[in-house]
Structures are given as C-alpha cells and as structure tokens.
A and B are shown apart, each in its own frame.
Chain A
Amino acid sequence: MRLVSNWSENFLQNQYKRLAEYRHQVFVERLGWEDLRSESGLEMDQFDRNDTIYIVAEEDDGHIVGCARLLPTTKPYLLGEVFPQLYNGLNPPCSPDVWELSRFAALDINKRNVSSSQVSSPIARQLLEESISCAVAQGAKRLITVSPLGIERLLLRSGFNSHRAGPPVIISGHPTFACWIDLE
C-alpha cells in the first residue's frame, strides 16, 4: 500500500476518475449520502478544483483503499459554504493557517464483510497522518474537518489534539461534526 498526495491538476485523468469512483462507492453506496449520488457513478462536487489537494491510499495494482481531500479556507470550502451551522455561531474560518480536511475514508470496498464505517481500515491512521503532513507543508497550523463519529473517535484514539466545534448535524440518522485539529 502506498500513499499518494498531490494537487488535483497533477493527477492523471484515469487516477482522478478512479478516485471519484471510489468516493461514490464509499460515500453514496456504502454510507448512503444520497445528495452526492450521480448517474455516472463519479462523486465530485464544486470543491474539487485544480487547487484541491488529494491524498490517496492505493494498493500496488492501483486499487484505492482510502482517500482524503484538503482545501484552504481562504477559498470556498465545504464547511464554510454548506455547513456553517457547525461552527456554533462563530464565523467560519478564513485563514492561510487553517485548512479543511474532508471526504476522508479508509475502507477497502473489495473486502468481504465490508464495514459500514468509513474508517474501518487499519490504514486510517496512516492516511490521517499523511493528510496532516500535507496540510502542514502548506502552512496549516490547524485543520477543520467534516467528521462523522468514526473520525472523531479516530482522532481521539490516535492522540491528536482535537475537539469538536459544536453540536452535530444529523445526516442519514448519524451525527456529523466539525472537528478542530491543532497541529502546533
């Protein structure tokens, strides 16, 4: 297994397509996020731009087993545009010191007894650490994440300096939070 991180514009077309297929399989077909469903079977939104950074975990044969997305908060990002209520009345951050981590999944779709959790794979922590390294390389001192419960648990178990930004919203019957991760 290897971790690949790069700007969106540097991904080859077939790599990008495989990532979008994986995201659809995880977030739509596995987790039931119906708002993201597309007929093409490719999951992309308005925050998948040329300046988006992706972190992809893939096997030697190219099979994707995990992904994450990083966005600067100085441009439109998911939490700021779609879930500002998760900031508990504060203005969403807009700072070069703060990056957003979203579309985080560590799940091998091909495995039997596939979990219903998006972070069931043992590579979840490696993927998280690589995502944080990428963010730090871009000057981030804090991350804000869109976090279903599984990611919040992962952050705590892994010993990261993290806390939730406020009460969750309920998506498909499950709580989703904004979580802060202090990187300094």
Chain B
Amino acid sequence: MPADGTSAAWLFVAPALVLIGVFFFLPVAAALVLSLTDFDIYAVASTSNTRFVGLRNYAQLLHTPLFWSSLRNTFYFAIVGGPLTIGVSLGAALLLNAKVVRWKSVFRTIYFTPFVTTLVAVAIVWRYLYHTRYGLLNYALDAVGIAPIDWLGDPRWAMPAIIVMAVWKNFGYNMLIFIAGLQSIPEELYDAANVDGAGPWRTFISVTLPMLGPTLLFVGVITMIGYFQLFAEPYVMTQGGPLRSTTSVVLLMYEEGFRWWRMGYAASIAFVLFVVILIATLIQIRIQRGRE
C-alpha cells in the first residue's frame, strides 16, 4: 500500500463520518443531556432559561398515565403487528417458493408494491376504506353478515385497524428476504427429508424453519425496531385517538417536543424508546441463540 493511501482513505470517509457524526451521533448524545434538563418553550427563545434537573423528567414520566398508555399501545402494535406481519411474509414467501407456481416475479412485484408506496398517502386511503358508513370494508363484511364496525372511532378497534393496514403495507419487504433465505436452503436437505418419508409439515418444521433461523432473526429485529417507531399511521388516521388508544411513544414524543416545546421531557421519552428497542433486540438475539 503506497504511503498516500492512508490519507486518501481518510478523505474518502471524512464527508460521511462528519455528516453522520454531526447530524446523528452528536444529536443522540445531546438528547441524553437534554433529557436531564427542563428545556422548554422559554429555552427555545433563549437557552439561558434552561436548568439541569437530573432525572426529574424520567420520574415525571413514571407518574404520567398517558406515557404508560402510549407505551402499552406501542407494545400492542409491535407484539401483535410484528409477528402477524412476519407470519404473512413467511406464508407469501412459501407460496411463491413452491415449484409449481408460474409468474413468480409478477406476484412478487404485486406483493411488494404496497411497501414502496407513500405511507401518509395510503394511510389516508385506508381511512376512507375504514369509514363506518361509506367504507368498502364494512360493506364487504356486511355481505357476510357482520354488523358495521366503527374501525377508527372505537377505542377497541382503532389499533387493530392500524395493525391490519401495517401488515398490508409491510409484509412484502420481509417476504423478499424470506424468499432469498428459502432459496439458499440446499436442495439435498429436502431430498433427505423426502427419503425419510417426512410430510410437508414435518419438512417445514425440521428443515425449512431451522435453516431460516438467521433470516428470521434479521427480519424479527428490523420489523420490531420499525414497529416500535409507530408514528405516521396514528398521526394521519386517528391523531392518536379515540380516547388516546392509538397514541404511540413517538407520537407522544412529537406532541410534547414539537407541539408544546417541552423538549427536555420529550427527550426522556425518546430515551425510554431507545432502551425498549435495545432490550427487545437483545431478547430476540438471546432467543435465537438459545435455539441453536
């Protein structure tokens, strides 16, 4: 390696590192400091109005029912919506991986299409599909004898409605990753299972699923990280209602930080979110390791 290789290398990585450092890592570190202050609307005007308050914001969070319900709503969305999305993705991938199927790439493209669409726009579309009186969903359900449901106006149904939309929007991405995972499973393993007289279900449990292990972990982690960051769906479809039943942690952070400018308090919410995501990621990795 020539002597100038090193300096050239630094020139190559410098723009990216400076940008990521200044506009991502630095703000993350600053958020931790911010969460220990009472930074509010007066401080936005002049930072001299800020005081260090230690862990007071976190203590306040623990005594705020709205924070706990936002945490509960977010967990509801991630724990029900995440596995549901992954299940649908895996099902679609298995169907598309079946050898008898033709026009695979056509189906694959169709299934992937919702994923590339603009979330805000399709959330609005679903808002109309969910309309109690004029929505096509209730009309279709009526045909099979199910009484109209006030999807986005009933606290019991608003989160399931958002979950259904999220599954529709996101399953195509995981599906692609599962297809790639399925294609990397050696054919000989299926031949061996076949020789042993294993049926399709047995083959799925003892060959396909274990071989998909790393893919499942990857898909599980990215889906969960994404789902804990729930924001645009409730913002557009329900504004966090009805009765706060769809207010997520990030929506609460947005409202506290950018509507009421209680930025210190909002930063503590953001950090709780980070810790939750970190713990959930570690649990998934632990479960996966335990299986191996």
- Do A and B form a real pair? no
